[in-house]
């Protein structure tokens, strides 16, 4: 039944899924609670410029994507905190510029970008060992920063104004959080692609939020849920011969819908029981 695990590309895919789940569970919770999902989308689409630039200069696109994603995160953070520019305006501009630069860079590069489609829509089956090393390094950085600055990130997530009163560097912490989101986007691009990265960043976290309101518990639960979503979607895509990234997102969405219905039915039952008693 699990004979597919004998293939190296499937082993790489499952490892990539686990790494992405750890990131989704950690940063995704902050994204959902802080309500910066749209910002995540802007960073993800601007990162496409980094993918195109990687093709142009002949290096691993994941490396150049890191620079572009971080650049987008800092630009959005500074424009909101320092320049007082509307956040949605900045995101819309960066969103368009990133996609346009990516197209131009790919057009200028020599040869044909044979795996460009995988960066747009994800191809977890094409994850290489080098990609895994990069993903593991980024995951370690993200987890380390969140562990060290847990209380500070908690503060700006739930009460940024109180943080300002307490003298906390809330502007710097906000930009740092966006940078962590940017690194998370890079990790997930190979799994579900630029187009679908928002789904993987938010669905596991949103599912965990249905069952817990404690931040630490939400993160742990979100990691477990993300691992289940990515692994199950990967297996389904393998046997059904479907696009892996899209299958993971569809499966995750279906599970989130079922979880939402379950919570609603449970709440209604509890209300009926209270009225009956």
Q: What is the pLDDT of residues 31-78, one digit of tens each?
A: 888 888 888 888 888 888 988 898 888 888 888 988 999 999 998 888
Provide the number of structural domains found in the chain.
1
With respect to residue 169, please indicate whether it lies within any of the assigned structural domains. Answer: yes
pLDDT digits over 135-171, tens only? 888 888 889 999 999 988 888 888 777 777 777 788 8
Residue 254 structural domain: 10-276
With respect to residue 49, please indicate whether it lies within any of the assigned structural domains. Answer: yes
- Please answer whether residues 139 and 187 qualify as being in contact, where contact means their C-beta atoms are separated by less than 8 angstroms: yes
The CATH number for 107's domain is: 1.10.3470.10
Q: Tokens standing for 65?
A: 């994507």
Read off the pTM. Answer: 0.86
Cβ atoms within 10 Å, residue 148: 10
Q: How far apart are CA 31 and CA 27, in angstroms?
A: 6
| Average pLDDT of the residues of the chain | 84
With respect to residue 1, please indicate whether it lies within any of the assigned structural domains. Answer: no
With respect to residue 27, please indicate whether it lies within any of the assigned structural domains. Answer: yes
* Percent of the chain surpassing pLDDT 90: 22
Helical spans, DSSP H, in the chain: 8-34, 37-57, 61-81, 87-108, 116-121, 129-148, 150-158, 160-165, 170-211, 215-240, 244-276
The DSSP letter of residue 125 is G
With respect to residue 5, please indicate whether it lies within any of the assigned structural domains. Answer: no
With respect to residue 145, please indicate whether it lies within any of the assigned structural domains. Answer: yes
- Please answer whether residues 30 and 204 qualify as being in contact, where contact means their C-beta atoms are separated by less than 8 angstroms: no
Burial, 87: exposed, middle or buried (Cβ in 10 Å; 0-12, 13-18, 19+)? middle
With respect to residue 126, please indicate whether it lies within any of the assigned structural domains. Answer: yes
Tell me what the mean pLDDT of segment 256-270 comes to. 89
CA 2 and chain centroid, separation: 28
With respect to residue 3, please indicate whether it lies within any of the assigned structural domains. Answer: no
């Amino acid at each position: 039944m699990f004979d597919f695990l004998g293939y190296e590309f499937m082993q790489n895919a499952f490892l990539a899924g686990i790494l992405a789940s750890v990131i989704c569970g950690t940063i995704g919770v902050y994204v959902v609670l802080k309500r910066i999902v749209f910002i995540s989308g802007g960073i993800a689409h601007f990162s496409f410029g980094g993918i195109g630039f990687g093709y142009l200069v002949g290096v691993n696109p994941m490396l150049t994507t890191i620079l572009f994603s971080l650049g987008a995160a800092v630009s959005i953070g500074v424009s909101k905190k320092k320049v007082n520019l509307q956040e949605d305006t900045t995101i819309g501009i960066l969103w368009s510029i990133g996609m346009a630069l990516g197209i131009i860079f790919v057009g200028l590069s020599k040869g044909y970008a044979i795996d460009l489609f995988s960066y747009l829509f994800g191809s977890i089956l094409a994850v290489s060992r080098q990609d895994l090393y990069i993903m593991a390094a980024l995951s370690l950085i993200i987890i380390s920063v969140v562990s060290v600055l847990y209380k500070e990130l908690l503060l700006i997530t739930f009460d940024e104004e109180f943080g300002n009163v307490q003298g906390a560097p809330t502007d710097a912490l906000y930009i740092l959080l966006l940078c962590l989101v940017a690194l998370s986007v890079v990790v997930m691009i190979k799994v579900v692609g630029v187009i679908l990265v928002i789904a993987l960043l938010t669905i596991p976290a949103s599912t965990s939020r249905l069952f817990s309101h404690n931040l630490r518990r939400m993160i742990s639960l979100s990691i477990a849920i993300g691992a289940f979503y990515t692994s199950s979607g990967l297996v389904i895509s393998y046997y059904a011969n479907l696009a892996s990234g899209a299958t993971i997102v569809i499966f995750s969405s279906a599970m989130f819908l079922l979880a939402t219905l379950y919570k609603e039915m449970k709440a209604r039952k509890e209300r009926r029981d209270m009225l009956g008693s």
